[in-house]
Structure 1
Amino acid sequence: MNLPFIEIIESPTPDPNLLMWKFADKDREIKNGAQLTVRESQQAMLLNQGQLADVFQPGLHRLATENVPILSRLKGWKYGFESPFKADVYFFNTYHFINNKWGTPAPILMQDSQFGQVRVRAFGSFDIKIADAGKFFRTYAGTFPRLTIFELQGQLRDFVAPKFGEVLAQEQIPLTSAAGNITDLSRKIEPHLKPYFETLGLELTQFIITSVTLPEEVTAFYDKVTNMNMVADMDKFTRFNTANAIGEKGTALNDATQTALAMGVLLNQVQQNNTNATPQQAPAATPPPNDITAKLQQLKILFENGLIDEDEYKAKKADLLTQL
């Protein structure tokens, strides 16, 4: 039993992730004068005996001798073809495939004029579309009856990541520019990538760098530089840092300050005792409340610094409180 000839050829996109797929002809021949419908955001390709016969843009096409002259030459028909013929039809999605992720699988070694050799990592995305279905088929997709964007992404990422580092080296882009202005860096790198995509019949419509990660030591250095640039008065900046260090427990400057205060309290106490002492050991006048408050504060500093024990602290504190 002979299978009916194919008279209508069309194929709505079965999967939005498809780049290319073969029309299911079920091994039937195409009738002379058959109609081929190519939708917007599609291209169709006719393949005869492994050779590309023609590529069709969006619209309605009649597959006849006058419309497909290349097929006549491939078949060797001197006066065209009137009988059905066997050919493979492939459809291609030509809309934008956006947000294809890329990243450096390992840090890239780049040379910087200030820091020398530095390892950086970068991440981003790119948008592509099929610009030339024939070239795409010949250079990449010829052995696939069905091809999705996912199969292509891996190969493109393997090209983009090392090319990123190569362009940084060629253009001698400073580390500050690479990390600080990624939009401008994206524009500089994109023209270096486009020729490769064109060899595959693809168009790189947008290349984006979302982040450039610097080593921790480089980031720490720039944080310090940024803080310094925000300071207009270096003397005030020094005093500010010193005050912060004094108030921060556990630092050497804080420990030294506390010790100095404690020693000052001891010396002041000794001097007062020597001044107030008389041969008759007359009772000292009751100190004013403000003086007692200061002594209580000094006493607490002595205790916190371990210069007196808890019992001594409590006894002296009780003595001072009785004078209020």
Structure 2
Amino acid sequence: MGFFKNQFSNVVEWEEFRDDMIFWKWNNREIKKGSKLIIRSGQDAIFVNNGKIEGIFEDEGEYSIDSDIIPFLSTLKGFKFGFNSGMRVEVLFVNTKEFTVRWGTQNPVLIPTPQLPGGMPIRANGTFNFKVNDYVTLIDKIAGMKDSYLVDDVKLRITSVLDQLLMKWISREGKDMFNLQANAFEIAKGIREDLDMEVMGHGMTITGFQVMSFNYPQEIQDMITKTASHEMIGNLQKYQQVSMTDAMSSGKLQGGGAASDMAGMMMGMNMANEMMKNMNQGQKPAEQKASEPAKSEAPEGGKKYNFCPNCGAKNEGANFCPNCGQKLN
């Protein structure tokens, strides 16, 4: 008797588990008397009969179908196992974890901008997070027709609409087209809300969406870098001087050509002008001081002048200048 009992026993478990699998269906087999259900961490087991959910079991562990499962199934409570009979019930195992997926634009997204009639070609990349949150909708829309569902299936659906959403939210929130990273949070927030509406009809929800970086064409990136250099230096003339110095030190202006000679001459003239400005600024206070007239003040204590303050003649101790008669005390 024990031989036949073991022969009809089944173990109901997620046999083809993969970390990137959203759900897997145990079906087309009979649950016999003495069968066991095994639920592992991060899994829910959903018993389905004729497309209708009979019961949902969430706690991990090992359960007896006879005593732990059947009594709690909604319409199968009165089912009694016969010795040679069983019942066909589908068991849908669902991965309950939050999935993290990397995304990236396959082709540049042309963002409308007045500066470029054809649009600004931008690539972007980042991550998004999602999880299953509605078993009824999941079974009705997907699990009723599929035996398994992978993360790549969701990623394919997301990326199919992502270009349009990037265009929409960059145009709306990208206040500075050449510094989109500054508005990445607002752009990502808007995209997440739209994507959530996209997958909600399949029993899932988008729990996060992040933009890690925006990438411009190399020509645009070079222009952005040059503009940033202008701003950092703060002066176009100084930027030209620094650029020319860098070019000469790197050897790009060597070779004796006309362009090299002209560049060297311009740099020399600019440096000479700067030196003359600095010299003039340094000499100006000294010239002003030298041009001030000498003040002739009488010596303290009533002493006589050694030189006449009027004509400059030397005084030999007289009270009046022998040359012009100026009083000297």
Superposed pair shares fold, TM > 0.5: yes
Q: Counterpart in 2 of 1:127?
A: 129
Deviations 1:116-138 (A, max 9, x none): 52111112222222222332222
Q: Is residue 164 of structure 1 aligned with residue 166 of structure 2?
A: yes
- Is the contact made by 1:35 and 1:63 (CA closer than 8 Å) also made in structure 2? no
Instruction: Assess, with a 3 A threshold, how the Cα gap between structure 1 residues 101 and 162 changes in structure 2: closer, same or farther.
Output: farther
Distance 1:258 1:138 in 2: 76
The two structures have a TM-score, normalised by structure 2, of 0.61
Distance 1:209 1:57 in 2: 34
Q: Is residue 254 of structure 1 aligned with residue 256 of structure 2?
A: no
SS at match of 1:63: helix
Q: Counterpart in 2 of 1:22?
A: 25
SS at match of 2:122: strand
Q: Is residue 63 of structure 1 aligned with residue 69 of structure 2?
A: yes
Q: Counterpart in 1 of 2:44?
A: 43
SS at match of 2:88: coil
- Is the contact made by 1:102 and 1:161 (CA closer than 8 Å) also made in structure 2? no
Identity %: 20
Distance 2:38 2:265 in 1: 91
Distance 1:50 1:239 in 2: 77
Q: Counterpart in 1 of 2:177?
A: 175
The structure 2 residue matched to 1:81, chosen from 79, 82, 85, is 79
Q: RMSD of the TM alignment (CA)?
A: 3.7
Instruction: Assess, with a 3 A threshold, how the Cα gap between structure 1 residues 172 and 93 changes in structure 2: closer, same or farther.
Output: same
Q: Is residue 231 of structure 1 aligned with residue 233 of structure 2?
A: yes
- How far the C-alpha of 1:229 sits from its partner, in A, is 0.5
Q: Counterpart in 2 of 1:203?
A: 205
Which sits farther off after the overlay, 133-142 or 238-247? 238-247
Q: Which runs of 5+ in 1 are unaligned?
A: 73-78, 261-324
Between Structure 1 and Structure 2, the one with more helix by share is 1
Q: Counterpart in 1 of 2:54?
A: 53
Instruction: Assess, with a 3 A threshold, how the Cα gap between structure 1 residues 254 and 24 changes in structure 2: closer, same or farther.
Output: same
Instruction: Assess, with a 3 A threshold, how the Cα gap between structure 1 residues 39 and 236 changes in structure 2: closer, same or farther.
Output: closer
SS at match of 1:255: helix
- Is the contact made by 1:41 and 1:58 (CA closer than 8 Å) also made in structure 2? no
State the one-letter code of the partner of 1:249.
Answer: Q
Distance 2:69 2:14 in 1: 16
Instruction: Assess, with a 3 A threshold, how the Cα gap between structure 1 residues 113 and 87 changes in structure 2: closer, same or farther.
Output: same
State the one-letter code of the partner of 2:254.
Answer: K
Q: Counterpart in 2 of 1:112?
A: 113
Q: Which runs of 5+ in 2 are unaligned?
A: 267-329
Instruction: Assess, with a 3 A threshold, how the Cα gap between structure 1 residues 233 and 47 changes in structure 2: closer, same or farther.
Output: closer
- How far the C-alpha of 1:174 sits from its partner, in A, is 3.5
Instruction: Assess, with a 3 A threshold, how the Cα gap between structure 1 residues 52 and 106 changes in structure 2: closer, same or farther.
Output: same
State the one-letter code of the partner of 2:158.
Answer: L
Deviations 1:243-290 (A, max 9, x none): 566772256442347899xxxxxxxxxxxxxxxxxxxxxxxxxxxxxx
The two structures have a TM-score, normalised by structure 1, of 0.62
> How many residues are matched?
249
SS at match of 1:167: helix
SS at match of 2:24: strand
